[in-house]
Amino acid sequence: MEFTANLIAGLVGGKVEGDGNITVNTFAKIEEGHPGALSFLANPKYTHYIYDTKSSIVLVADSFVAEKPVKATLIRVADPYETISELMTKVAEATAQHPTGIEEPSFVAADAQIGQNCYVGAFAYVAGGAVIGNNVKIYPQAYVGAGVTIGDDTVIYPGVKIYKGCKIGRGCILHAGVVIGADGFGFAPKPDGSYHKIPQMGIVEIGDDVEIGANTTVDRATMGATRVGHGTKLDNLIQVAHNCEIGSDTVIAAQSGMAGSSKIGSNCMVGGQVGVAGHIAIGDRTGIGAQSGIHKSLPDDSRVMGYPAIPLGDFMRQAARLRRLDNLFDDVANLKKQKQ
């Protein structure tokens, strides 16, 4: 599929500078541009690439001012990052494959309910009592347990495991290796030093439009439900423990972990490798820097970083002072010499 600069500008409400009839058929990073590619410039750190990029078209901000000639055709838009995202979404939707039907060999229980236009890939397993909505795609080697419900338009990629009774909303994407509803880490110590396993009797409830990255795990509740709210996005390799609750439209980066019964609010942003202690609550619209350790509850609109986490401004000041620590030791050593 090829698109002219004029056509793209019309789709996104942009303004063309250069050859409006030049065509593109793929996307490329601005530093790896090549003829026929569409790139974008959003981060000022990449501005120098625009003068040498071989991409045919580059999306730039309305405010962009070139310091020297640019070979590529430019399309000016309000937000290049948002615009490239919209264009990539349109292309992905137009070129996406939509398999349907039940492949063999696979297993679908006689009492499982399968909606219209669904796909069940080879070696997938759908247990009794499962309810699968319309347009759901279940790729090969996925497991859907007894009594699981999956909403319309959800995609279950290869190797996903959804344990019994769990509920997945509409329009969700579960990437390869995701495990929903494994037992929570519940063990009671016994007088002899061994541990008694506490049965995990609850479920997991995933809201609509949730995306969960590869090899992320969301444990079932001891009782009640572990919940992930509408629109929330979880990266790869995240652990969500039993009875945790995550609000709506929150994003959590890779290798983060939530201990049991902790709560994260809505519209939060959590960096990679963040650890959240159990039985605490993090307020809405909170930002947490990468590798932070959260050991106590946080109010709405917090900005924290560090281990243990402290307000972001304090962390930055401490980091600046730490960089000057060697100079302080040198100053103290010089003062000691002067006294001698």
Give the 3-state secondary structure of residue 318. helix
Known catalytic residue at 242: yes
The Cα 253–Cα 244 span in angstroms is: 17
Of 98, 242, 279, 295, the active-site residue reads 242
**Nearest 10 degrees: Cα torsion 29, 34, 37, 42:** 30
Helix pair 5-12, 80-95: axis angle to 10 deg: 110
DSSP letter assigned to residue 201:
-
The Cα 182–Cα 221 span in angstroms is: 9
User: What's the count of helices (H) and strands (E) in the chain, helices before strands?
Assistant: 4, 40
CB 57 within 8 A of CB 38: yes
- Other CB atoms within 10 Å distance of the CB of residue 48: 12
Q: Which residues are designated catalytic?
A: 242
